[in-house]
Amino acid sequence: MNRKLMTLFAALTAFVAMAVVPALASASTVGTLQTHAGTPLAVGTNVIGTSTNLKFTTGSGATIQCVTNTLTGKVTKNDGHTFSGEITTSTHNGRPSQPTPHGTHCDSSLGISTIKAENLPWCLFGVGDVTETDTVTLDGCGAGNIKFTATVTPFGFSIATCTYENEKHVVASYVTNASPLVLTIKAAAFKRTAGAESCGNTGTLTGSFTLNRDDAGVSGTNLKVTNTT
């Protein structure tokens, strides 16, 4: 290839590259946290997450399950490209084995139990995608982890108190544009950091949370995540 052709080829390559980059940029996806009616949530909006099927299973096979699980917090970012939130309270109670009212304890395979959230606040991060199902990650804010302490008290006597922390991000999926917004936990590995070895060295969290706007301390307007390009 002579010098003139090489120069022409280089110019064409540069032109194509300049044309492609903006096209790729415009195709990048975004996620916006909105009300059911399509109004974006402002930073500082209070949000509440509720779950009736949260379950923790240790590596030794022991289980803990609560039927009333509530997370509350606020939106910290929602700029059309990504959204995030800060969880400031996490409460867990209610025994699936008992009729309503469920009471203030949870069930475990070893007897009644209590769950205490540690190391709050926790942070939630989400990014939109053009696929139907997307994910959010949940972790401790800053250098911290999600942490909770479980105390098993059969017959009213405490036999074990153990603390667990997440090993990696807790990952939950949601369906884009679906309202109400349901976060289904898909990857949540925990490790024991305090307490007796009989608690089990590892554990897995399963279940789902429905996110709504927090209207005066109660679950209010349905939310959704919409994606645009």
pLDDT, tens digit (0-9, with 9 covering 90-100), for 113-163: 999 999 999 999 986 555 556 889 999 997 789 999 999 887 777 788 999
CA pair distance 63, 150, nearest whole angstrom:
11
pTM higher than the cut 0.85: no
pLDDT digits (tens, 9 = 90+) for 2-21: 544 344 333 333 333 333 33
Enter the tokens of residue 29: 């996806």
- Considering just the CA atoms, what is the radius of gyration of the chain in Å? 23
Average pLDDT over residues 31-59: 93
Burial of 87 (0-12, 13-18, 19+ CB in 10 A): buried
CA pair distance 111, 154, nearest whole angstrom:
4
At 25, is the pLDDT very low, low, confident or very high (cuts 50, 70, 90)? very low
pLDDT at residue 4, as a whole number: 42
Please provide the size of the chain in residues.
229
Range among 67-71, 99-103, 138-142 rated most confident: 67-71
**Closest-CA residue to 162 (of 15, 58, 23, 20):** 58
pLDDT at residue 121, as a whole number: 95
Average pLDDT over residues 90-100: 83
- Going from the C-alpha of 71 to that of each of 7, 21, 66, 161, 217, the distances in angstroms are 62, 41, 13, 22, 11
Average pLDDT, the chain: 82
pLDDT at residue 131, as a whole number: 56
- Going from the C-alpha of 172 to that of each of 35, 125, 186, 209, 229, the distances in angstroms are 20, 10, 5, 9, 23
pLDDT at 206 over 90: yes
